[in-house]
Structure 1
Amino acid sequence: MNTLIWIVTPYACLVVFLVGHVWRWRHDQFGWTTHTSQLLESRILRLGSPLFHLGAFGVIAGHAMGLLVPAWLTERIGIPEHLYHATAVWGGTVTGIMLVVGLALLIARRFVNGRVRRVTTTVDKVLYVALAVMVVLGMTATIGTNLLGEGYDYRETIAVWFRGIFWFSPETHLMSEAPLIYQLHAIGGFLFLALWPFTRLVHVWSAPLAYLWRPYVVYRSRRHAPVTPAPAPAAVRDRAVQEARR
């Protein structure tokens, strides 16, 4: 069972993540978009979208630092463990609250506004449910275990198992001994990656970076431009010639 959960499932989800993106790009390029509904409702979106995206960026950065950067490396560059722990917990709490508020506003917007609700697809609903579950599990681990509870050193267990996946040597016993909330959050994260290619989240790989070096668009005023009359249609022109001959 440990092999199935902590080895087979992560690799299967990563394969679906990679192959799914290739399939989506080859067969659904017109659907490779945010499917924005800003024109249908912008008041709630104006607040919810920045909170959600800023919170998501902070949460992703915190996960990357905690899972990919070994504890010995931060100690070697002069960051003591208690300082790292305090920064991770409070930073994760602040960005997590931003993510929760932003996601709650976006979900409420989808169901409160009738026009936005009508353009919400089944995949969108599944995505919002998956996001909500992931956020609840993550905030429970951050606030319930590390901020209010006794704490758990995931850098010596979960992070080691996670890095082992990319070295093809995951240590399953490290995850089997972790608290249940961390186990659920970890397996939920990989399942979320498997869902990613089939949702609107693919738009994150299409950031408009070309805008940074594209040439300027020049606009010229038509205020003083000479006005040339439009040519008359052929039928009107022929009728005028006939009347002139008469």
Structure 2
Amino acid sequence: MNGLNTIAWVVFPYVSMAVFVVGLLWRYRYDKFGWTTRSSELYEHALLRLGSPLFHFGILFVAAGHFMGLLIPKSWTEAVGIGQDFYHFIATYMGALAGIMTVVGLSILIYRRRKTGPVFLATTRMDKFMYVLLATPIVLGMWATVQNQILAGGHGYDYRETISPWLRSLFYFQPQPELMADVPFQFKLHIVAAFLLFLVWPFTRLVHAFSAPVGYSTRPLVVYRSRGSAARGTREPGRGWEPVGTPQDRKRRRTPTSTDL
């Protein structure tokens, strides 16, 4: 049992994080052309404009909640006046709202990708695999929250006494897998699914999460000029571009000679 705990809560997380970091660096170095979401907005935009904001804003709030709950020690939040009651309300109910936004948004995006013909044809096998791995930890996280936080009553399960210090111990390179022994199995499944997602992340379109359009605001402007006569400026146009019947055209006509008569 100790060996299994070591594999599940030490070896697998380290392997997952190593592949995640090295894979992103490799992908950015050797596959910049493929570092894209392969946008399908041209095929369908009504459902995309509804599902995409719901999913992205929801997942950002979920990520912020995980950062606060897992990486910030409990003593730090209590030191700044955030008591257990207030923290439980924010983490449970606001987190559940963010989770619902994420689930609804992802459901719309999956429905759109399956039911819109051109979008479905543009979906690769890796995309389908990615959607399964993306949906699994989200659904399991919602299940763990409802089962152990909302339905349990009171303050629910205090994961900041077990899961949080275990996760931080990995970053300290002093892993403590024994902290995960009595964690509810719903949370365990959620964690394993999350690390599995990080394991395949660099090889999917999810790499776009690390792309920020920083250069967009500083790139040169694209100047458009009309071909109309009012926008030509002072330079006379070439003969091949001037309209027929203009004064310039008439000036360039050959003067008749005796041989022409």
1:25-64 matches, within 5 Å, as 25-64=28-67
Correspondence for 1:185 among 184, 190, 193? 190
Write out aligned runs for 1:102-113 (5 A). 102-113=105-116
8 Å Cα contact 2:225/2:231 also seen in 1: no
Closer/same/farther in 2, CA of residues 161 and 229 from structure 1, 3 Å limit: same
Deviation per CA, 1:88-112: give whole Å up to 9, x if none. Answer: 1111111000000000000001110
Shift of 1:28: 1.5
More deviation in 16-25 or 205-214?
A: 205-214
Match of 1:228 among 219, 231, 237: 237
**C-alpha contact 2:133 2:196 (8 A) present in aligned 1:** no
Structure 1, unmatched stretches of 5+, are 233-240
Residue equivalent to 1:236: none
Which residue matches 1:237?
Answer: none
> Structure 2 matches for 1:1-246, cutoff 5 A?
1-150=4-153, 151-214=156-219, 216-217=221-222, 219=224, 223=228, 224-226=230-232, 228-231=237-240
Q: Secondary structure at the match of 2:240?
A: coil
- Displacement, 1:176? 1.8
Alpha-carbon distance in 2 for matches of 1:212, 1:97: 34
Change over 3 Å in CA distance of 1:229–1:136 after alignment to 2: same
Greater mean deviation of Cα atoms: 173-182 or 213-222 = 213-222
1:144-164 superposed Cα distances (whole Å, 9 cap, x missing partner): 220122420000100000000
CA distance in 1, matches of 2:91, 2:198: 23
Number of equivalences: 237
In 1, Cα distance between the equivalents of 2:239 and 2:39? 39
Alpha-carbon separation, structure 2, partners of 1:230 and 1:3: 81
Letter in 2 for 1:106: L
Cα distance in 2 for residues equivalent to 1:91 and 1:163: 24
For residues 137-191 of structure 1, what are the alpha-carbon distances to aligned partners after superposition, in whole Å with 9 as ceiling and x for unaligned? 0001112220122420000100000000000112111112101011111121111
- Counterpart AA for 1:32: W
Paired residue type of 2:188: Q
Pairwise CA distance, 1:215: 5.3
Paired-residue identity, %: 50
**Greater shift after overlay, 104-113 or 144-153?**
144-153
Distance in 2 of aligned mates of 1:79 and 1:123: 43
Q: Greater Rg, structure 1 or structure 2? A: 2
Deviation of 1:214 (Å): 4.1
User: Letter of the aligned partner of 1:161 in structure 2?
Assistant: W
- TM-score, normalised relative to structure 1: 0.90
